[in-house]
Amino acid sequence: MDLEQIERVVETARDRIAGASDLDELAAVESEAVGRRSEIVAARRGIGALLPDRRRTVGKAVNEAIRSLTAAAAARRSVLEEEAENVLLERDRVDMTLPYGRPLRGTHHLLTSTADEVCDIFRSIGYQVAEGPELELAWYNFDALNTPPTHPSRFESDTMYVESFDGEERRGPDELLLRTQTSPMQVRYMERRLPPVYVVVPGRVFRTDTWDATHSPVFHQIEGLAVDSDITFGDLKGTLAHFAGEFFGPGARTRFVPHFFPFTEPSAEMLVWFNGEWLEMLGCGMVDPNVFEAVGYDPGKVTGFAFGMGVERLAMVKHGITDIRHFYDNDLRVLGQFR
Amino acid sequence: MRAPIGWLADFLNLPTRDPHEIERILVSLGHEVESIEEFSPTFEGVIVGRVEEVGPHPDADRIRFCRVYDGAQTHDVVCGAWNFEAGAVIAYARVGSRLGVDADRPLEVGRRKIRGVVSHGMIASARELGLGDDHEGILVLDELGAAGPDDLGRPLEEVLGLSDVVLDVSITTNRGDCMSIRGLARELAAYWQIPLLDVEPRPACGPEASDFEVTIEDPEACPRFVAHQIDGVTIGPSPLWMQLRLLSIGQRPISNVVDVSNYVMWELGHPIHTFDAAAIAERHIVVRRAGEGETLTTLDGAERDLHPGDILVADPSGPIALAGVMGGATTEVSAAAADILVEAAHWHPPSILYTSHRLGLRSEASARFERGVDPNLSGLAAARAVELITLTAGGIPRAAAVDAHPSPVTSWQVRLTARDVGRLLGPDPSFEESLALLDRLGFDAAREGDAAGVTVPTHRSDVTRPADLVEEIARLHGYDRFPDLVRRGRTGALTPAQAAARRLREALVGAGLTEAKTLSFLGQADLDALRLPDGDPRRRGIRVKNPLREEEAILRTTLLPGLIGAAARNISRGLKTVRLFETGRVFRSAADPDDPRIPHQPRQLAMVLAGPEVDVFAATGMIDLVARVTGCALEVHQTALPILHPGRSAAVVCDGTPIGMVGELHPSLARRFGLSGRAAAAELALDPILSDLGVWEMEEVSVFPPLVFDMAFLIPDAVPSSRLIKTMGQSAGPHLEGLDLFDEFRGGSIPGGYRSLAVRVTLRAMDRTLSDQEARLVLQDIWAAVQGGLGGYLRGGL
């Protein structure tokens, strides 16, 4: 084969490679062009019979022809392969907006997540979390908290009492009741350890309240207690203002006004400026010396502050919930809105 | 406590009358202001007029024809009242004015023809003006001293000073002394540092000495009883100014003597009671506790059974009043009464609280006695009442009151040190400033270096200790002025149990369960519906003595009734599948292991899964989840338990101890709770699961490839799959990596009484690739154990 013939063969074969419409055709065309029985391979076998000066030029042309046709076939192959894959991919297409395969996910109750949020704010400044019994002795709920035996909060119109669980009749401080506040845990906590004390206590509390939009016989509180050798009223204010800022957002302003609780002196109520009004958010005060006496702390050596807040109230204010009954109806259309 | 600003002005030269400024100050002092209300008249367009002429109506005997001058014009008016003559200054309701006993139903005054004579407007009575009940005659303003000829033509509300602003103040239970205009004025005076303009009553007493005797049998119940006789009073309406004051604080005027009692109570905070002196037997008052079986008919006509805790005012014939709570009917000052006895007494607050609560008789008087009234105020209050009664009802008081004062209370001293103040309040205010603040509040401080003897006035019975004085200092100093210091504690770490509880809750939520919160109460019907056997501890719930409803009379012994009810409600509202859980305390009739004085109140976890997308294995799967999240090994032991479907019921066992149950609800029970389809449930004790398991340690994993084989066994029906897995695990040797049961099959070629269970066995060695030969030996061991221990057969051979 002379050079001209080689060129012609290459040209023809290159056109056929480029024109191959699928991988099978390409394989056939490639085999015909550079396969063992192709003209060009036959020509290479005949090179040895040529005159030495032609041997070099023809040999070079043949090798170059095989190389270029092989490369052209490879290029065409990758084009055809990609096209074939695209067809398959197009066939795989799905509607990605179909709602399949969603993982199940429930929700935490808002009262739980709110209580966790409050506890975590206090944990971040070094307060531990503790819980106490719901069925309590009058001693812890009232007497040790400096509440006189005749205080109206002890009446059955406010407090739920229970019958004996073991046949033994209990009177006075030993009477059993459903705690009306988380404050009894202040006493239990201090009874079991020495100062300093930094703790928050979430829990369920009970009152003889009939249901309405803002009252429930069962609700939740979070108690806080800090006792150390040098705690002042400013510590109470600053700590609770810090909490309000963390919980309601940095813009939350707070205001403290005098109030009365049997177990703190001085006592205060914290108001928070939220959505354009001052809202009563929690009660607080410096721990009354009689409470320290009741737990065996020396009121001359330690001071402290205590506070208590309603979890329902916090959640209702923050999330715009207007009826407390939503928390206990367990309607999944409501629970499902929680996070 | 309603406080009209105009009334406060009796006691203070107010630097401001801005209600919001006064509110701000009261709140800063600890007196929450619940509302600010306008006290305004219910009439409109009524002016002061004078009757120029009065004469007979030409065609009627009972009404008269008048000519009324309003300062500019004269009008013809017909009037039915006879309590005035020409020259009287009256309230003239012009044509177009409005009258109303209540503001919602105003009456527009028009031009009216009465028996042939046209009346241009009317002359109004107090009742028509909404100023009280008196409609016997018209309001004669000059007689009442309320208006004179100079006021003709002026709007009546302006002349009467009828617009005031009333602050409704909520008084905390420790501050009985602020349940009065004078008490609140005293607080404001301390704030503004201005003098209190106190009342100084000077009743015009006659010469005759009192012939009443007062005996106090129980000085604790009654430390003081002041009784002042007045002879010859005339019962009638009280003066307009007094009626207006009472109306402004929301008290209906009744008659002069009653109105004075109320007026003094609101003004000074000391309740006053009046008796018809003629009705008291032997002119002898005896103060004592009630005897067993005694009764008293009170002013409201109800016969009250008395109790030994009640304090009584009695005479030798029996009880005549329920002290501090309500008077008795027999000694009531009726319209015909002439001689009266005015009582200003001090009562033991807890007893008053006891009686008023027991009888459900909370009154303005009992509210004050409950909080505590200054016993040294009784003399002043009696004098003020006597002064005002003689002013409004006439009569001659006896020369002096009988003042029975068996246990006088004098002021007491509290020693306050600079350290007491500084350790609670910090460096500001200084001790000197602190004492000055106390002085403003009426506490007299005698300083000696870093300490002071502080004398507490008797109206501040709430102040007995240094801490109480510190509150007074802080309050007047202003809470706003203390710094805001963030107090950091020591550590905020959760305990391992708390952390595990949070992880558990998060896992359940992640598995699709929603957290519910149900009440802590059950009714007997709930317990009956659970069909618990007699000895079941869940039957023995602790009962609430004073439940709100019978359905909430027992403390819950299980979370399930509440949770099943919640699931049923959701399904009835249209939901198909419901997955709920709750964690909470239940109450057992057994002593708490840590504190035997109280019942055991363990924490439980309960779940209810109902609807077509869940079955009983969704519930057993959750038990597995709980085990994985907490690291606590939990086993499910099939056994028929109460509440559950007998064939789909298992105990949950932790460390060999049953801690709960899982299964499908018994269908008849589910129906009783309103669930129509199948529902799965579980309830477990949380405390053992959340106990501290210590720190877990990692096990090394192998880098060599696994060998995986499937084995299918024919197993007798009675053998639970968990036993098969356990047997296989125990016999598989050290290279076992996993056993996964993937198929259960009955019927077909499987003989009756057997089922086929297929298990995938994964083997892997830590140090080498296992050979097929080694694996074959392991499978032979497993096979032998299953055949020997469970009576199973291998399907298809090895």
Domain count, chain A: 2
Contacts of A152 in chain B (CB under 8 A): 173, 353, 357, 370
**Which ranges of chain B have pLDDT less than 50?**
none
**Phi first, then psi: what are they for A109, rounded to 5°?**
-65, 140
Bridge partners for A212 per DSSP: A215
Q: Residue B134 has what pLDDT?
A: 64
Q: Residue B798 has what pLDDT?
A: 54
State whether residue B13 sits within 8 Å of chain A by CB: no
Last residue of a domain, one of A92, A125, A159: A92
Q: Do residues A84 and A141 share a domain?
A: no
Q: Do residues A88 and A190 share a domain?
A: no
Q: Residue B794 has what pLDDT?
A: 86
Contact B475 A116 (CB under 8 A): no
**Residue A98 included in any domain:** no
Q: Do residues A140 and A69 share a domain?
A: no
- Tokens read off for A20: 């191959």
- Tokens read off for A242: 């810090």
Q: Do residues A307 and A198 share a domain?
A: yes
Q: Residue B783 has what pLDDT?
A: 94
Contact B491 A111 (CB under 8 A): no
Domain residues for A323?
Answer: 110-338
Distance separating alpha carbons of residues B169 and B175, to the nearest angstrom: 12
Contact B173 A206 (CB under 8 A): no
**Residue A16 included in any domain:** yes
State whether residue B547 sits within 8 Å of chain A by CB: yes
Q: Do residues A182 and A140 share a domain?
A: yes
How long is chain A? 339
Q: Residue B105 has what pLDDT?
A: 66
**Residue A104 included in any domain:** no
Q: Do residues A193 and A312 share a domain?
A: yes
Contact A166 B589 (CB under 8 A): yes
Q: Do residues A161 and A69 share a domain?
A: no
Q: Do residues A122 and A169 share a domain?
A: yes
**Residue A105 included in any domain:** no
Of the candidates B690, B694, B686, B693, the residue with the CA atom closest to the CA atom of residue B659: B686
**Residue A103 included in any domain:** no
**B43 or A27: whose pLDDT is higher?**
A27
Last residue of a domain, one of A64, A92, A120: A92
Q: Residue B102 has what pLDDT?
A: 58
State whether residue B548 sits within 8 Å of chain A by CB: yes
Full-model pTM:
0.87
Q: Do residues A10 and A153 share a domain?
A: no
Q: Do residues A160 and A235 share a domain?
A: yes
Q: B318 exposed, middle or buried (CB, 10 Å; 0-12, 13-18, 19+)?
A: middle
State whether residue B523 sits within 8 Å of chain A by CB: no
Question: In a 3-state reduction of DSSP, which class is residue A214?
Answer: coil
ipTM of model: 0.89
Contact A125 B489 (CB under 8 A): yes
**Residue A71 included in any domain:** yes
CATH number, domain with residue A193: 3.30.930.10
**Residue A99 included in any domain:** no
Contact A150 B353 (CB under 8 A): yes
How long is chain B? 798
**B308 Cβ partners below 8 Å, 6+ apart?**
B289, B290, B291, B292
Q: How far is A157 from chain B (nearest CA, A)?
A: 8
Q: Do residues A155 and A295 share a domain?
A: yes
Q: Do residues A151 and A13 share a domain?
A: no
Distance separating alpha carbons of residues B189 and B8, to the nearest angstrom: 10
State whether residue B764 sits within 8 Å of chain A by CB: no
**Residue A176 included in any domain:** yes
Contact A133 B589 (CB under 8 A): no
Contacts of B599 in chain A (CB under 8 A): 135, 165, 176
Q: Residue B101 has what pLDDT?
A: 56
**Phi first, then psi: what are they for A142, rounded to 5°?**
-125, -65
Q: Residue B777 has what pLDDT?
A: 94
Q: Residue B332 has what pLDDT?
A: 94
